[in-house]
Amino acid sequence: MSTKTDESRGVAAERVALALQEEILSGKLAPGSRLGEVALADRYDVSRGPVRSALNQLAESGLVSIVPNSGARVRELGRDDARALYEVRAALEAEAARLAAGHADAATGDVLGQLLGQHADEVSAHPQGAYLQGPGDRDFHMVIARMSGNPIILRYLTRELYPQLSLLRVKHRNVTGRGQAALLEHRRIAEAIACGDGEVAALLMRRHIRASWDALEAQLAATPEEQKL
């Protein structure tokens, strides 16, 4: 039997959502790409119901835009959208850094130092490039969010904010020298966390994210709707 009859609707929707998310975040599906239900159902060998559910999941995480009577497309983030994301990011990650410092123990400095040592090797290999981190435990910001011990902050960052930021991250590849600057900022944040100084850690995190936004803002083109304003 085909997948259409073998696979439960919920499992099928999750499978399609994960596959589409990977293609969106890798750049295989460019912003603005149309996501037709019929074509996707044929591609993934499922009915249109799971496809519709998958698209709704991705819309909730901010990766897909669904317009009534028009259908779904990969979301196009304009300058105003990006600024709003960075404002929320600064607030959440500053608090995560403050909480992480409060939970710091003797091993915290070693954990962060080892991670940033790996990042330093990668930045050194491309000194004029961006600071492109790996997923999960190789992402400095993800590690800090987990160290915060706050499951709500972690959930908002990982399920909503970070997927949307991934749509923007490719822009950083064109920011000359930003990798080295970001690494130095990470080191200072890590030192404050390891020392248990939550207020300094939060302040440095806010400055770091502000610097990241400043580097990105000039490269973001306004959406067609924004250009008409």
> For 213-228, what is the mean pLDDT?
62
- Asked if 8 and 47 count as a contact pair (C-beta separation under 8 A), the reply is no
Residue 92, φ and ψ in degrees, nearest 5: -70, -45
Tell me: the pLDDT tens digits for 120-167? 888 777 655 555 555 555 789 999 999 999 999 999 998 889 888 888
Whether domain 7-74 has CATH 1.10.3720.10: no
Place 225 in a pLDDT band, splitting at 50, 70 and 90. very low
Superfamily of domain 79-217: GntR ligand-binding domain-like (1.20.120.530)
| Predicted structure pTM score | 0.77
Return the ∠ at Cα 228 (arms to 223 and 229), rounded to 5°: 100
DSSP 133: P
pLDDT of res. 4: 53
DSSP 138: G
Tell me: the pLDDT tens digits for 81-128? 899 999 999 999 999 999 999 999 999 999 999 999 988 888 777 655
Domain-wise residue ranges, the chain: 7-74, 79-217
Q: Is pLDDT of 5 > 70?
A: no
27, 32, 35, 36 alpha-carbon torsion, rounded to 10°? -150
